[in-house]
Amino acid sequence: MRIDSGADRTMIETLRGGTGRRGAWLKLLSEVVALGGPDVEFLRHSERPWSSATFTGARHVIALAFTGRIAVDCGEQFIAALPDHEFTLPGQLVAEATIAAVEYENGPEPRMTVEAELLLLEDC
């Protein structure tokens, strides 16, 4: 196996937003998880390109879980706050932030799973 540390550094910089179009996702995830509160559990993230006649960007789907009564309360606050949250993503504009799905599970500890969809546009 051959390891190219220069290529690895470039990939890491891209993921952190240093270069390339796909770098905004890491900052986006950080802000979404912070908005979810201290007990949020990150489940998954997906991204797909998006464009219109005048804009380009990407649609992101982020799934989070909130386990326990206090965490579920934080999840409810997350649902209320997400659509109006002001994101600070250099070179990006969050054009749309919606809750696509919410699932509740009853048991010894209540659990809520939230799926959020965000449309990021490249800021010209």
pLDDT tens digit string along 21-54? 456 889 999 999 999 999 999 999 999 999 999 9
pLDDT at 21: 47
- Which ranges of the chain does DSSP label H, i.e. alpha helix? 5-15, 24-36, 69-81
User: Is residue 2 scored above 50 in pLDDT?
Assistant: no
CATH class of 23-122: alpha beta
The identity of residue 67, as a single letter, is T
pLDDT at 13: 53
Task: Enter the tokens of residue 56.
Answer: 């380009």
Query: How many C-beta neighbours within 10 Å does residue 53 have?
Result: 4
- 70 and 39 in contact (C-beta within 8 Å)? yes
What percent of the chain stands above pLDDT 90? Answer: 76
What percent of the chain stands above pLDDT 70? Answer: 81
Question: What is the residue extent of each domain of the chain?
Answer: 23-122
- Which ranges of 37-100 does DSSP label H, i.e. alpha helix? 69-81
